[in-house]
Structure 1
Amino acid sequence: MAALVLAVGLAVLGSTPPPAKGPSAPAEGFSAGRAMADVKRIGRHPHPSGSREHATVRSHLVQRLRAMGLIVRTQDGAFPQEMRAWFNRHNGTAADTIPLVNVIGLLPGREPALPAVALMAHYDSVPGSPAAADDGAGVAAILETVRALSLDPARRRDVIVILTDGEEAGLTGAKLFFAEAPERRRIGAVVNLEARGGGGKANLFQTSSLNGDVARAWAATAPHPAGTSLATFIYSVLPNDTDLSVALPRGYAAWNIAFIGRAHLYHSPLATPQALDTGALQQMGEQALGLARALSQAAQLPGRAPDIVFFDVFGLFVLHYATAWGWGMLAVALIGYGALAARRFDIRELAGGAGRMLALVAISGGGLYLLNLLSGAGPAADYYDRLAAIPRLQAMALCACLAAGILIAGRKPATPSGEAGFAVPLWVAGAALQALAPVAAYVLTIPLMLGGVVALLRLRGNAGLAAGAVVAPLVGGYGLMLGYTLMQAVGPMLPMVAVLPLATTWLAFLQLRPAITRSAPLAAVLLAGAVALALWVRLDAPAASIPTYSEARAPSARK
């Protein structure tokens, strides 16, 4: 129980952004309190491209940049015809031309011949949303970052600020900048700031390719790091885009940072400055400032190097290593669990343990798939309404996973061979992931390695139990944190991702937990709770947070 409580505490620690610093924080650092003044100004009203409020926001941004000593210009264009039709449809307008205006600022460095560092965010909103988070937070974080950089006498490189227009309409402003702006040829590195929600951890979720040096630079500069190579891998196979998607083909060293908590605020009319999580803004700005300061002072920018595994450890620090280390971790796991099984080898028990782990994965995954359908998922579901349901879907997944675990794996294996059998399917999956996606395999290889070490220590007596009491909360805490994050990211469509942290956490706690004697009634209660949550999501009225242009809104409520 102590290990379980510690695991929950670590998961909360790793899922919570740092506290915001107030306006009186030291001038050389980032302060969310100072940045909020700009968020409040940007997020007063909806400001889609071409609107009067959009022009007002742009004027404010130009004035702010000039007041900090930047050389500022605007890049003018117009929406292309195909995006003009999309924009008019979503805004309820019929404009023949829609202006497209990027804001570009230059903070000169001591050595302007060196490739510059670019900070990028978009300042347009979707119709009907004040967009305090997406992307008022990103713009305000850049303004506060530039303010701090302007005080830095050690800055060697120029810093270019790119505030794009038309991001919400097909990345139109970014396409204009990287196609025509002369500044694009001077850039050597890009930091992009985004949001899909209104709070939570600000994660590094995308980098340029061959990111070994890029990831190490981030790890060395982020005071409260949040980011993983698993996230960069998942994002690389998703169809999503940000302004950085336009920049990446040009070969810049690049980082993309965003928060996705409070997902109901994504493109929402409720995305006001008052609703923004200032801790998320603090974490986003700290990472942007740390990177920008180091890059602007560096004699050489990060180059292309083999991809590495990296992840933050509960927001405290970053672990990173070469992908080949994963094979060594799997070898340690094989030796450890093999030695445990050999202590009293029983092939039937080994196969039984493996079968129970496979059943746990298959039944929990299948159950989550069915519960997701019961909750209303499918082609007809409104994406934004599903985002608003994420907390309930997270609770649904937790109940279902616990029910499956208690029912299928509640009885502790009778022999060490049975315990080792639980690791066999995960070891095979870890080897496959290590071969196919080594930057993402750490979520299996590290728990397996730690479990193998505990298994070896168990052969030496009580040292194994003590080691297990340390490893279980570490693996379990990370598993809970990972499950929480994965459900935020893709849970409304794929809650089955919760099976991965379930399996690793169950394996880590295997030797510590007592047998659960009354498993069926407890599992039934948890399953009933999961069904009730799914029905609640399905039968609930459309969320008040969904965008004004959403089809889920009643016609009379649309603007």
Structure 2
Amino acid sequence: MRKPILLLAVLVTILAAMGLRSQLTAIPAARSQSAPTQFDANRAHARLAVVLREQVPHPADTAANDVVRARLIAQLRGMGLSPIVRDQRACNELYKSRGVSCARVRNVIATVGPATGKALLLSAHYDSTPTGPGAGDAGIGVATLLEVAALTKDRPLQRPIIFLFNEGEELGLIGARAFLDDPLSRNVDSLVNLEARGVRGPVNMFETSRPNAAAIAVFKRAAANPVANSLSTDVYRLMPNYTDVNTLAERGWLTLNLAPIGNETRYHSPGDDLAALDRATLQHMGDQTLALVAELDPGVPKAQADWIFMDLGGRYLFTLPLAVGLLVLAALLLAVARVSWARGGLARTGAVVIGTLLLSTGLTWLMLALLGAARPGHFWRAHPMWTHLAISATVALVAVVLLATVGRRVDRTHLRPLFWLVFLILGAIIAIAAPGGVVFFLLPPTLLLIGMFARRWWPRAEQAGALAAVVALYLTWGAMLGLLEELLNAGPLWVFAPLGVLIILPALIEAKPLIVRPMRRVAGLVAMSPMILLWAMVAAVPAYSADRQQRFVIEHVTDATTGKAYWSILNGKAPLPHAYREMADWRWAALPTAEAKRWVAAAPRAPGIAAPTAQVVSTVANGRERAVTARLRANGSTRLTLIGPKDARIRAAGTAGFVRPIDAAAEEGEYLISCFGRSCDGAELHIRIDRAEPVTFKLVGMRAGLPVSAAPLLDAKPRFARPQYAPNQTLVVSRVRI
């Protein structure tokens, strides 16, 4: 009876550790009192509360953002600074997609320090999405810059600091593009950009200039509580996300990009408010930014080679030249492969390790699919911890069963090297696409090999080295997985099964004596109990809460060509409320305004909603290519988007002075040419098309808010539901030939 209890205790310990992964990067609380020279999160938050007083959406070129900008300028003037406003109509290409976006933007710029010398640029955007007040994105950056400006304005700085509060980031990095046209940009040599994809948790340094050694050296010296790793910076480059750095990187400045990612469910939603913004997160961003200012004040270090890096518990940043890391990985791979080959038993040990990876992934996918069928939508959104624990318990069950059956006659001395060989092979594969990931594959197997080498002097050295490797694996991979859970909170969640194997299986290999005879027959039952309990919790807990609400966007869409009108609901395909089903006949379908499917039903036409127009003013032909100028009429819309077919061959688009090329390397898809804000009415777009015949575009006009006929839908929406990524809005689509 003793072994089942011990095995259960081991499993509970492993699951508790997996549940506490986020604590590995926990940050200190905000200081209640700060010294005069320290960043004061409470004071910064109070300034932001003044700037965002009404806490309403304030997209670029709107009356609401005029108010925010006026308060921002007043804050800067109140410090004794003399901010300037650059008023420009600008455009920028959409990164990793086929499009251009345009708007009238007003960048607010303040400078401290000497009048000459290369400048450090500190940047954050002050516009929000049309959906939320933007206290996190990027109000946290605005608050940080205001406090840093107040603290540095009277310091004896060695070079200038430019504070850029840019407008139009949310519309396509338009303010950043406009700044590159600003004479002040010619004197910049370094950049710290402040962003947000959440409202709490540590502030991650997730992007650097390349080569990165100089930027990482600066960050390492400056950050007291660093949260960063080179795997995440490499993965970020592969993702479709973008920030102002994508545009500003054209200048080759030394760059560090910082952002919190905790609780993405409030990001780009009405929930991104002052109450949700964690002051500890603001403190973490402010402390790092102020320290980076001090570190970069003497000047920019010379660019060097690439480094790999990772934080250790948010307390220390481990760094290593990438070339050295690759050599160490190769040496470890050869050494562990030699040990595995010499010890033999590769068939059974391989079946345990590979089988655990494959079967735990498959079983996790099946459990998620079954729950998804019973509870469509993001059923884990309110309490993601239970789902992640259930996935970990599933991995543990599969590992225990395979160790008790396939691996029952295999000793730990055979299982250890084979697991770490698979681990290192995975590291080599990851290094092909994301070389920065190598850093996570070095320390644990090194500790194991040290133990193996010391075995000749101390018989238990290998076991001690294996246990040390398990602990090191948890402290490094566990912290990284905690951050990854925040990034992938919308799924797919099954990916956490194979990642969990990398932490859980080596721990259970060391616990194998508790699993084999006479425990073999009951080990699976012992491991099954926490799995069943945790999946039951996932099925029982509410899917949504006041803090972590369901995405629920209501749109009224009119097709001006056919005269038909529709209701559109974007909610991740979760079931609609019963009252909705009584109001209309809903179907899962696409609309003329977008290719993505959503819930759609017939709707009454909205009175007084006119379609926007695009009138061709001039056309200049040069062989096959045509340069077309079209004048827009908004007719009440605040955002206009021309959607061109996939074969339109649009080469560039924009307004005078800012005609931007379409990203030739972007994935195939429809072309998007957008104009945002009041100034779009009467604006002229210049479009270069590589085809002689006219192209039929869809012209979509959007305005926030819904017609009166939407009142029953608003009244019957779920209790914990709010718009995210798009506001409740009214759209009208027409067709134009250009």
TM category, shorter: 0.7 to 0.9
Tell me, yes or no, if the aligned pair for 1:339 and 1:456 is still in contact at 8 Å.
no
> 1:152 and 2:143 equivalent?
no
Residue equivalent to 2:475: 477
- How far off its partner does 1:304 sit? 2.7
Q: How many residues in Structure 1 have an aligned counterpart in Structure 2?
A: 531
Q: Which letter maps to 1:552?
A: L
CA distance in 1, matches of 2:231, 2:74: 40
Q: Deviations over 1:53-101 (max 9, x none)?
A: 3222211211222233433111112476999xxxxxxxxxxxxx96421
Q: Which letter maps to 2:483?
A: T
Pick closer, same or farther for the CA change 1:323–1:10 going to 2, 3 Å: farther
Residue equivalent to 1:171: 173
Pick closer, same or farther for the CA change 1:6–1:318 going to 2, 3 Å: farther
Pick closer, same or farther for the CA change 1:500–1:209 going to 2, 3 Å: same
CA distance in 1, matches of 2:348, 2:116: 66
Tell me, yes or no, if the aligned pair for 1:15 and 1:314 is still in contact at 8 Å.
yes
Aligned residues: percent identity?
A: 26
CA distance in 2, matches of 1:15, 1:390: 18
Q: Which letter maps to 2:81?
A: L
Alignment of 1:413-452 (within 5 A): 413-434=410-431, 436-452=433-449
Helix, strand or coil at the partner of 1:41: helix
Pick closer, same or farther for the CA change 1:329–1:402 going to 2, 3 Å: same
Tell me, yes or no, if the aligned pair for 1:69 and 1:107 is still in contact at 8 Å.
no
Tell me, yes or no, if the aligned pair for 1:422 and 1:507 is still in contact at 8 Å.
yes
C-alpha RMSD of matched pairs (Å): 3.3
Pick closer, same or farther for the CA change 1:167–1:537 going to 2, 3 Å: farther
> 1:36 and 2:45 equivalent?
yes
Alignment of 1:380-529 (within 5 A): 390-409=384-403, 413-434=410-431, 436-459=433-456, 460-498=458-496, 499-507=498-506, 510-511=509-510, 514-516=513-515, 517=519, 518-528=522-532
Instruction: Give the structure with the higher percent strand.
Output: 2
Unaligned runs of 5+ in 2: 1-8, 95-101, 556-568, 577-709, 715-727, 730-738
Pick closer, same or farther for the CA change 1:470–1:448 going to 2, 3 Å: closer
Tell me, yes or no, if the aligned pair for 2:144 and 2:282 is still in contact at 8 Å.
yes
Helix, strand or coil at the partner of 2:314: coil
Tell me, yes or no, if the aligned pair for 1:333 and 1:448 is still in contact at 8 Å.
no
Tell me, yes or no, if the aligned pair for 1:25 and 1:31 is still in contact at 8 Å.
yes
Tell me, yes or no, if the aligned pair for 2:445 and 2:469 is still in contact at 8 Å.
no
Residue number among 66, 75, 96 corresponding to 2:77 in the alignment: 66
TM-score by length of 1: 0.85
Tell me, yes or no, if the aligned pair for 1:130 and 1:272 is still in contact at 8 Å.
yes
Tell me, yes or no, if the aligned pair for 1:49 and 1:98 is still in contact at 8 Å.
yes
Q: Which letter maps to 1:328?
A: V
Residue equivalent to 2:277: 276
Tell me, yes or no, if the aligned pair for 1:375 and 1:537 is still in contact at 8 Å.
no
Alignment of 1:98-497 (within 5 A): 99-109=104-114, 112-153=115-156, 155-178=157-180, 180-296=181-297, 298=298, 300-326=299-325, 327-332=327-332, 334-335=334-335, 338-339=338-339, 342=342, 345=343, 347=344, 349-374=345-370, 376=372, 390-409=384-403, 413-434=410-431, 436-459=433-456, 460-497=458-495
Tell me, yes or no, if the aligned pair for 2:352 and 2:399 is still in contact at 8 Å.
no
Alignment of 1:15-54 (within 5 A): 15-22=25-32, 24-44=33-53, 45-46=55-56, 47-54=58-65
CA distance in 2, matches of 1:394, 1:235: 22
Q: Which letter maps to 1:202?
A: V
Question: For the pair shown, which has the larger CA radius of gyration, 1 or 2?
Answer: 2
Pick closer, same or farther for the CA change 1:368–1:256 going to 2, 3 Å: farther
Q: Deviations over 1:351-406 (max 9, x none)?
A: 311221111112223334444545659xx968xx9866644543343333333333
Tell me, yes or no, if the aligned pair for 2:329 and 2:428 is still in contact at 8 Å.
no
TM-score by length of 2: 0.65
Larger RCO (CA under 8 A, 6+ residues apart): 1
CA distance in 2, matches of 1:432, 1:526: 33
Q: Which letter maps to 1:490?
A: L
- How far off its partner does 1:120 sit? 0.7
CA distance in 2, matches of 1:483, 1:81: 34
Pick closer, same or farther for the CA change 1:375–1:175 going to 2, 3 Å: farther
- How far off its partner does 1:291 sit? 1.0
Pick closer, same or farther for the CA change 1:392–1:77 going to 2, 3 Å: farther
Pick closer, same or farther for the CA change 1:51–1:373 going to 2, 3 Å: farther
CA distance in 1, matches of 2:523, 2:351: 19
Pick closer, same or farther for the CA change 1:269–1:549 going to 2, 3 Å: farther
Unaligned runs of 5+ in 1: 84-96
Q: Which letter maps to 2:120?
A: V
